């Protein structure tokens, strides 16, 4: 997959899939090769972890392949589980996470292993095939492709246990946001194409598709230009390399390695593969300052508190209580940051952002250190607004809501009506595009303050409102309980809204911190850690838990934080589930908002 995606990148940059020079590097040297500038990017697809992100002088692309670490044994060995590997010599690859994951698994199982390291996959599997070692532990994708090359492929078994989660990604240079943006959207393009049903064989049939597809393929709009490449970059990638399904099937036998986690998110049967929207506006309300020479993390630590942009008019997200205190999901992320940085959830100054554009200009110009006000990650914002995005913390969608008694459930029924939306947002852009594409003559009432919009709707001055689901829910929560059911969402959403915190671009150290805190509330949920039990779990014997909470290792120190930063964050605000339940009481929990291990879409990269 790394080779195919490298050709996709060459296609996007030069309209030539062969405009790439492949440089072979030794195992573990891929990080140094990128950090030193020897290569532009590493297609070795190593595992993205918080520790690697913080210490190796590189950044990572979005996950290309969600793998897990497995153990390969001979079918006639009688070994059916990790517990039965006692005293077995297991081979692993040097410079990877495999040895640590294997040691963790052995400790949990209470067994002793003889672990032998190898400098290359060829040497590793040659030793196994010659009977010099009894097992191999490496990513399942590798095992699946190597089994047919062994002398007795029919006598091979991959144990069912997953030894570790392995989100595989490109390595890109640190603090090179423009290049990283291009890589990011090249990775996303084949995924978006599969979602649209576009592949290398039928792509030309879609050139006259709907507005979203035309924009994606470069028939209209200027998405590519925003990134500094051709507008039809996605079209060229699909023609030359294919969509995600084609890339997957070219590199793996799906009968031997089913897609599982690598299925599209929100498409049956459901997986973790996801793309932010290929959309956005290039409107900037204030000039952006070139301040790349600053170091935001140092500024925050020297100041002694973190400045966080939030809203104060949306219950459940960012809301000013009668006593003046702020509460909400977005506010909690600000307090989690403060707790991680300083051990004090109150070491934060909240800056109220009254317009949608402030979410980005405040960050880019240094007014705030981070925006934690629901902001959709899309291509144009990524490319043009001088900001980067932390990992997605809410997979939202754009809803249209109308009074139930109106019977209005489609945009067509709103012809001649008035629709309220927050100005300067993805929701406004998408609403105008879809009304125009459908030839619907409706008045778009775009205002800066959503509470004003909602009040106008409740007073009958608007026929409908549209926006992020969380924002609409927060407004409905302000109504008496008996009135909430008097409003209905359209059956179909207008588009996806992946929401994330926003940081200044070319500030990799600071982004690593914000990302680490975001992942922490996910990881805590996955590990079963809550604000109530996290202190007791300091005595856990699980090495993954102990490293996460700072009892062992130096993950926090590598980020420039106390080693117990995750402990402090979870003690202050809880895990992801606690945050959601506290801020949206009475709202049914999205069945997908559970860890991937339970069939949901919440996923944290490994910490070590």
Whose CA is closest to 169, among 139, 210, 199?
139
- Average pLDDT of the segment spanning 203-232: 96
How is domain 65-168 classified at the architecture level of CATH? 3-Layer(aba) Sandwich (3.40)
**Contact 111/82 with Cβ under 8 angstroms?**
yes
Closest CA relative to residue 7, chosen from 38, 54, 34, 43: 43
pTM assigned to the model: 0.93
Asked if the model's pLDDT at residue 282 lies above 80, the reply is no
d(CA 31, CA 97): 14
The number of residues in the chain equals 608
Q: 2-64+169-262 — its CATH code?
A: 3.40.190
H/E segment holding residue 388: strand 387-403
Task: Spell out the residues 6+ positions from residue 140 whose beta carbon is closer than 8 angstroms to its own.
Answer: 67, 68, 69, 70, 158, 257
Q: What is the pLDDT of residues 404-420, one digit of tens each?
A: 999 999 999 999 999 99
What ranges do the domains of the chain cover? Answer: 2-64+169-262, 65-168
pLDDT reported for residue 506: 95
Distance (Å, rounded) from C-alpha 37 to C-alpha 285?
Answer: 36
pLDDT digits (tens, 9 = 90+) for 528-578: 999 999 999 999 999 999 999 999 999 999 999 999 999 999 999 999 999
Give the model's confidence band at 449: pLDDT under 50 very low, under 70 low, under 90 confident, else very high: confident
The reply to whether 2-64+169-262 and 65-168 are identical in fold is: yes
User: What pLDDT sits at residue 280?
Assistant: 87
pLDDT in the model for residue 370: 98
CA angle 476/375/211 to nearest 5° reads 95
pLDDT, tens only, 40-52: 999 999 999 999 9
Residue 90, pLDDT > 90, answer yes
CA 107 to centroid of chain Cα atoms: 30
Strand 495-504 and strand 387-403: the pairing is antiparallel
Is there a contact between 403 and 487 (Cβ–Cβ < 8 Å)?
Answer: yes
Contact between 277 and 184 under an 8 Å Cβ cutoff? The reply is no
Secondary structure of 342-358 as H, E, C letters: HCCCCCEEEEECCCCCH
Q: What is the mean pLDDT of the chain?
A: 95
**Could you report the per-residue pLDDT of 295-341, keeping only the tens digit for each?**
999 999 999 999 999 999 888 999 999 898 999 999 999 999 999 99
User: What are 144-169's pLDDT values in tens digits?
Assistant: 999 999 999 999 999 999 999 999 99
Pick the range with the lowest mean pLDDT from 122-126, 456-460, 476-480: 476-480
């Amino acid at each position: 997959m790394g080779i195919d995606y490298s050709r996709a990148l060459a296609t996007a940059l030069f309209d030539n899939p062969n405009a790439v020079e492949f440089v072979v590097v030794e195992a573990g040297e891929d990080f140094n090769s990128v950090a030193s500038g020897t290569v532009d990017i590493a297609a070795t697809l190593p595992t993205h972890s918080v520790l690697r992100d913080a210490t190796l002088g590189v950044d990572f692309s979005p996950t290309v392949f969600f793998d897990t670490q497995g153990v390969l044994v001979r079918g006639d060995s009688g070994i059916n589980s990790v517990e039965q590997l006692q005293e077995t010599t297991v081979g692993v690859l040097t410079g990877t996470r495999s040895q640590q994951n294997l040691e963790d698994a052995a400790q949990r199982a209470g067994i002793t292993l003889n672990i032998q390291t190898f400098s290359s996959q060829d040497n590793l599997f040659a030793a196994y095939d010659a009977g010099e070692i009894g097992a191999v532990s490496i990513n399942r994708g590798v095992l699946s492709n190597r089994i047919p090359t062994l002398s007795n492929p029919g006598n091979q078994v991959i144990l069912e246990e997953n030894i570790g989660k392995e989100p595989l990604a490109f390595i890109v240079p640190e603090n090179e946001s423009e290049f990283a943006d291009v890589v990011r959207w090249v990775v996303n393009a084949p995924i978006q194409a599969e979602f649209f049903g576009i592949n290398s064989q039928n792509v030309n049939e879609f050139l006259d598709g709907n507005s979203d597809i035309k924009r994606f393929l470069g028939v209209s709009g200027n998405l590519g230009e925003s990134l500094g490449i051709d507008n039809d970059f996605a079209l060229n990638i699909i023609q030359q390399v294919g969509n995600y399904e084609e890339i997957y099937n070219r590199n793996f036998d799906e009968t031997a390695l089913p897609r599982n986690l690598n299925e599209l998110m929100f498409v049956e049967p459901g997986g973790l593969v996801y793309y932010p929207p290929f959309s956005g506006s290039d409107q900037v309300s204030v000039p952006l300052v070139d301040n790349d020479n600053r170091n935001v993390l140092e500024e925050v630590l020297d100041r002694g508190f973190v400045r966080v942009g939030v809203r104060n008019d949306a219950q459940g997200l960012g809301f000013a209580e009668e006593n003046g205190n702020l509460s909400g999901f977005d506010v909690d992320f600000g307090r989690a940051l403060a707790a991680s940085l300083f051990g004090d959830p109150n070491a934060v100054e909240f800056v109220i952002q009254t317009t949608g554009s402030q979410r980005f200009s405040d960050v880019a110009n240094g007014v705030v250190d981070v925006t934690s006000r629901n902001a959709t990650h899309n291509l144009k914002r990524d490319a043009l607004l001088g900001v980067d995005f932390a990992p997605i913390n809410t997979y939202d969608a754009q809803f249209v809501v109308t009074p139930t008694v109106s019977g209005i459930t489609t945009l067509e029924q709103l012809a001649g009506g008035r629709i309220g939306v927050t100005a300067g947002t993805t929701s406004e852009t998408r609403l105008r595009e879809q009304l125009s594409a459908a030839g619907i003559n409706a008045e778009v009432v775009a205002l800066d303050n959503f509470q004003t919009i909602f009040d106008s709707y409740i007073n009958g001055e608007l026929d409908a409102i549209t926006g992020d689901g969380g924002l609409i829910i927060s407004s409905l929560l302000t109504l008496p309980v008996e009135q909430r059911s008097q409003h209905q969402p359209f059956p179909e959403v207008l588009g996806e809204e992946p929401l994330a915190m926003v940081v200044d671009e070319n500030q990799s150290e600071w982004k690593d911190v914000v990302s680490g805190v975001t992942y922490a509330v996910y990881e805590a949920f996955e590990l079963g850690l809550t604000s109530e039990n996290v202190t007791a779990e300091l005595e856990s014997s699980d090495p993954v838990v102990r490293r996460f909470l700072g009892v062992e290792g130096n993950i926090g120190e590598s980020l420039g934080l106390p080693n117990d930063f995750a402990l402090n964050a979870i003690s202050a605000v809880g895990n992801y589930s606690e945050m959601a339940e506290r801020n949206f009481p009475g709202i049914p929990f999205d069945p997908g908002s559970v860890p991937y291990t339970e069939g949901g879409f919440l996923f944290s990269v490994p910490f070590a």
